Amino acid sequence: MVNMMGGFYADNDSLVRAEGHRSCGIAAQALMLAAQSMGYDSCPMIGFDFQATGELINLPKTHEISMAVAIGKALSPARPRAGQLPYEEVVIQNRFSK
Protein backbone atom coordinates (compact mmCIF):
# COMPACT_ATOMS: atom_id res chain seq x y z
CA MET A 1 0.00 0.00 0.00
CA VAL A 2 2.78 2.45 0.89
CA ASN A 3 4.50 1.88 -2.47
CA MET A 4 1.25 2.47 -4.33
CA MET A 5 0.56 5.68 -2.43
CA GLY A 6 4.04 7.02 -3.10
CA GLY A 7 3.63 6.46 -6.82
CA PHE A 8 0.15 7.97 -6.82
CA TYR A 9 1.35 11.26 -5.31
CA ALA A 10 4.80 11.41 -6.95
CA ASP A 11 5.35 14.43 -9.18
CA ASN A 12 1.80 15.70 -8.61
CA ASP A 13 2.12 18.74 -6.36
CA SER A 14 -1.47 19.89 -6.94
CA LEU A 15 -2.80 16.48 -5.82
CA VAL A 16 -0.57 16.53 -2.73
CA ARG A 17 -1.78 20.06 -1.87
CA ALA A 18 -5.45 19.15 -2.45
CA GLU A 19 -5.09 16.02 -0.32
CA GLY A 20 -3.51 18.07 2.45
CA HIS A 21 -6.44 20.48 2.47
CA ARG A 22 -8.95 17.60 2.42
CA SER A 23 -7.17 16.03 5.39
CA CYS A 24 -7.19 19.35 7.24
CA GLY A 25 -10.93 19.69 6.62
CA ILE A 26 -11.58 16.23 8.01
CA ALA A 27 -9.38 16.95 11.04
CA ALA A 28 -11.13 20.29 11.62
CA GLN A 29 -14.54 18.61 11.49
CA ALA A 30 -13.40 15.97 14.00
CA LEU A 31 -12.04 18.71 16.27
CA MET A 32 -15.30 20.68 16.04
CA LEU A 33 -17.43 17.59 16.76
CA ALA A 34 -15.23 16.72 19.75
CA ALA A 35 -15.57 20.29 21.04
CA GLN A 36 -19.35 20.13 20.64
CA SER A 37 -19.49 16.83 22.55
CA MET A 38 -17.72 18.60 25.42
CA GLY A 39 -20.17 21.52 25.40
CA TYR A 40 -18.09 24.00 23.41
CA ASP A 41 -18.97 25.98 20.31
CA SER A 42 -16.67 26.22 17.32
CA CYS A 43 -16.27 27.96 14.00
CA PRO A 44 -13.91 27.27 11.08
CA MET A 45 -12.21 30.47 9.99
CA ILE A 46 -10.60 31.94 6.91
CA GLY A 47 -10.19 35.59 6.00
CA PHE A 48 -7.12 36.23 8.13
CA ASP A 49 -3.56 36.94 7.05
CA PHE A 50 -2.20 33.43 6.44
CA GLN A 51 1.36 34.65 5.85
CA ALA A 52 1.50 36.79 9.00
CA THR A 53 0.02 33.94 11.03
CA GLY A 54 2.61 31.55 9.61
CA GLU A 55 5.39 33.94 10.57
CA LEU A 56 3.94 34.35 14.06
CA ILE A 57 4.02 30.60 14.69
CA ASN A 58 7.34 30.03 12.82
CA LEU A 59 5.62 27.84 10.23
CA PRO A 60 8.22 26.11 8.03
CA LYS A 61 8.27 27.26 4.39
CA THR A 62 7.30 23.72 3.32
CA HIS A 63 3.96 24.01 5.18
CA GLU A 64 0.85 26.10 4.64
CA ILE A 65 -2.17 27.02 6.73
CA SER A 66 -5.48 25.56 5.59
CA MET A 67 -7.79 27.16 8.14
CA ALA A 68 -8.15 28.06 11.77
CA VAL A 69 -10.80 26.76 14.17
CA ALA A 70 -12.08 28.95 16.97
CA ILE A 71 -13.36 27.01 20.00
CA GLY A 72 -15.03 28.48 23.06
CA LYS A 73 -18.38 29.32 24.59
CA ALA A 74 -20.75 31.44 22.49
CA LEU A 75 -22.00 34.64 24.10
CA SER A 76 -25.27 34.32 22.16
CA PRO A 77 -26.81 31.78 19.78
CA ALA A 78 -25.60 31.89 16.19
CA ARG A 79 -27.70 33.95 13.82
CA PRO A 80 -29.52 32.07 11.07
CA ARG A 81 -27.54 31.86 7.87
CA ALA A 82 -28.94 33.98 5.08
CA GLY A 83 -29.69 32.49 1.72
CA GLN A 84 -30.05 28.85 2.71
CA LEU A 85 -31.33 26.80 -0.21
CA PRO A 86 -34.20 24.36 0.33
CA TYR A 87 -33.09 20.82 1.14
CA GLU A 88 -34.75 19.48 -2.00
CA GLU A 89 -32.60 21.79 -4.17
CA VAL A 90 -29.26 20.66 -2.77
CA VAL A 91 -29.79 16.98 -1.96
CA ILE A 92 -30.10 14.72 -5.00
CA GLN A 93 -30.75 11.03 -4.52
CA ASN A 94 -30.20 8.13 -6.89
CA ARG A 95 -29.32 10.27 -9.93
CA PHE A 96 -27.13 13.07 -11.22
CA SER A 97 -28.74 16.49 -11.45
CA LYS A 98 -29.91 17.68 -14.85
**pLDDT 10s digits, 8-62:** 778 888 988 899 999 999 999 999 999 999 999 999 998 999 999 999 999 999 8
Strands 68-72 and 41-45: antiparallel
Of 38 and 6, the structure prediction assigns the larger pLDDT to 38
Nearest 10 degrees: Cα torsion 62, 47, 24, 64 = 0
Task: Quote the pLDDT of residue 90.
Answer: 85
Banded pLDDT at 97 (limits 50, 70, 90): low
Q: Give the start-to-end residue ranges of the domains of the chain.
A: 2-74
**pLDDT 10s digits, 61-70:** 989 999 999 9
